[in-house]
Amino acid sequence: MIAVDANGADQGPAAVAEGARRSGLDVLLFGPASAVGASDGHVEVVDAPVTIGGHEEPAQAVRSRPDASIVQAARSVAEERAEALVSAGSTGPTLAAATLRVRRLRGVHRPALAVLLPIPGGPVLLLDAGASVEARPEHLVQFAYMGACFMEAVYARERPRVGLLSVGEESGKGTPAVLAARERIEAGGGLNFVGNVEGFDIPGAGADVVVTDGFTGNVALKVLEGTSKLMREAIGAAVRSSPVSAVGGLLIRGRVGRLREQLDPEAVGGAILLGLRKPVVVAHGSFGPRGIASAIGLARRAVDEDMVGRTAAALEAAGALRSAGAGSVAEVTPESDGGG
């Protein structure tokens, strides 16, 4: 059973409900019954009309509004009525509800938002794409294992290539945090670690998993999306601007349409929060029913392939868990953000 929050999507709760029905999977759907309809077939509806907006302070809103749909959905996962969470709403409240209710894996410092980029030759998993704004070396190390386990478990990618985002390929290039993380990942072992990768390796699919801090990752993601949009629009405008090229545009429309499908985020299923005790998928706010169905399918695969258990085992084997006694973890300074 997958818990789905129907509130907060750009196309409204009814589109999310339609996606849930289309997925063909068992879904516990939290949203306004007036919009999502009654339980039927594989979809069990819980009437939850209260929503948390994207502009509220997330942790505060989650704590004070236990009846909000995202909080109820997260609680259903914590109480094991559902095995994973899918949200079509804002990332902030989803992250807050998931961290507070579903909670982090034991020994994980903080969750990371991992985004599947629909790149030819990919997809490429970029993390952290913005769950935090800064990352210490021990966070980057955990992100590397979390991302690799996701690609292995959910995308059946054998020994995915893991790269650490930096400003040059040489091992000496990067911030002190990147240099320290690189040393620890190499020492921890167990990964197909390709060392530093650069900005052009993200669209170039130079690695299957690209590890970075949430600030850089968020900027990189938005530059990529913005540039892709700019290029599509500029080419469209060039084609439309003369009758001759408009005829040319009609002739290539089919091929370019197929290219667009290849780059389609709805086919991939959105972003996933890694490092929690259960899979949590954050569908893009713009997703229609097809994208929501993909997101639910993604959550289902993460459950079926035991992504969480495999992540915990990999982190432990590498000595990268916070409470473990192994080598690199001894360097971790005590901190106040709890250990799960």
Nearer to a copy of itself, 10 or 225 (CB): 225
Query: DSSP of 107-157, one letter per residue?
Result: T----EEEEEE--TT--EEEE-SSSSS---HHHHHHHHHHHHHHHHHHH--
Nearer to a copy of itself, 13 or 123 (CB): 123
CB 33 within 8 A of CB 39: no
Q: What length does the chain have?
A: 340
Nearer to a copy of itself, 225 or 304 (CB): 225
Spatial separation of the C-alpha atoms in residues 59 and 42, rounded to whole Å? 32
Nearer to a copy of itself, 66 or 226 (CB): 226
Shortest distance, CB of residue 109 to a copy of itself, whole angstroms? 17
Shortest distance, CB of residue 207 to a copy of itself, whole angstroms? 13
Shortest distance, CB of residue 27 to a copy of itself, whole angstroms? 31
Shortest distance, CB of residue 154 to a copy of itself, whole angstroms? 24
Nearer to a copy of itself, 37 or 249 (CB): 249
Shortest distance, CB of residue 57 to a copy of itself, whole angstroms? 9
Is cis: bond before 289, omega within 30 of 0?
no
Nearer to a copy of itself, 38 or 251 (CB): 251
CB 48 within 8 A of CB 69: yes
In which residue are the tokens 């209260």 written?
50
Shortest distance, CB of residue 10 to a copy of itself, whole angstroms? 17
CB 193 within 8 A of CB 167: no
Query: Which SS3 state, helix, strand or coil, does residue 7 take?
Result: coil
CB 66 within 8 A of CB 96: no
CB 85 within 8 A of CB 73: yes
Q: What amino acid is encoded at 69 in this protein?
A: S
In which residue are the tokens 């942790």 written?
59
Contacts with a copy of itself, residue ranges (CB under 8 A): 119-120, 130, 133-134, 165-167, 173-176, 198-204, 212, 214-216, 218-232, 234-235, 238-239, 241-242, 244-245, 247-256, 258-259, 262-263
Nearer to a copy of itself, 106 or 232 (CB): 232
User: Chain centroid to CA 300: how far?
Assistant: 14
Shortest distance, CB of residue 71 to a copy of itself, whole angstroms? 23
Spatial separation of the C-alpha atoms in residues 74 and 84, rounded to whole Å? 9
